[in-house]
């Protein structure tokens, strides 16, 4: 499976007045129960994570101006730091 960039440009729409860059990305919000189920904790803002999920299409929208959108339900998901760092025990005791 190939990962694709989801970056968008504010040139395609009206930029928020406090935007300091000309790009934005789609986002999701995970509640505490979802985070607990995936075994993740609060990470510092800006931390890049790897997100893998099985999803189901829940709705599709086509507008008169030719724009389309799709809504997805997340069935299963996993999240981990993008560049996974070895924990202290693995560093100190690499052979177990």
pLDDT value of residue 28:
87
Q: Is the CA virtual torsion 82, 46, 30, 38 positive or negative? A: positive
pLDDT value of residue 4:
73
pLDDT value of residue 6:
76
pLDDT value of residue 19:
60
Q: What is the pTM of this model?
A: 0.59
- Cα angle value 3/27/36 (rounded, 5°): 95
Measuring CA to CA, how many Å separate 40 from each of 17, 30, 78? 33, 10, 9
pLDDT value of residue 57:
95
Q: Kindly list the averaged pLDDT for each block of 10 residues, start to end, along the chain of length 96.
A: 72 61 78 88 88 92 87 89 69 70
* Spatial distance between the Cα atoms of 14 and 47, rounded to a whole number of angstroms: 27
């Amino acid at each position: 499976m190939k990962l694709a960039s989801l970056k968008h440009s504010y040139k395609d729409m009206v930029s928020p007045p406090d935007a300091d860059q000309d790009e934005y990305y789609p986002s999701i919000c995970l509640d505490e129960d979802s985070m607990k189920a995936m075994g993740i904790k609060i990470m510092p803002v800006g931390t890049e994570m790897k997100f893998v999920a099985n999803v189901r299409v829940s709705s599709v929208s086509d507008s008169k101006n030719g724009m389309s959108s799709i809504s997805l339900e997340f069935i299963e998901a996993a999240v981990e730091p993008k560049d996974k760092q070895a924990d202290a025990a693995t560093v100190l005791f690499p052979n177990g």
